Amino acid sequence: MNKSIKTFLSILAILIVLVLAFGLRMQAANTLPIDYDEDDYLRAAQEFAHLIRTSDWRGFLDTNYRPEHPPLAKLLTGVSILSAPEKPLTPMLPRC
* Digitized pLDDT (tens) for each residue of the chain, 96 residues in all: 798 999 999 999 999 999 999 999 999 989 998 777 788 888 999 999 999 999 999 998 888 888 888 889 889 999 999 999 998 988 876 665
Distance CA 8, CA 12 (A): 6
> Rounded to an integer, what is the distance from CA 29 to the centroid of its chain?
12
Amino acid at 82: L
Whether the Cβ atoms of residue 63 and residue 51 lie closer than 8 Å to each other: yes
Q: Which residues contact 21 (CB under 8 A, 6 or more apart)?
A: none
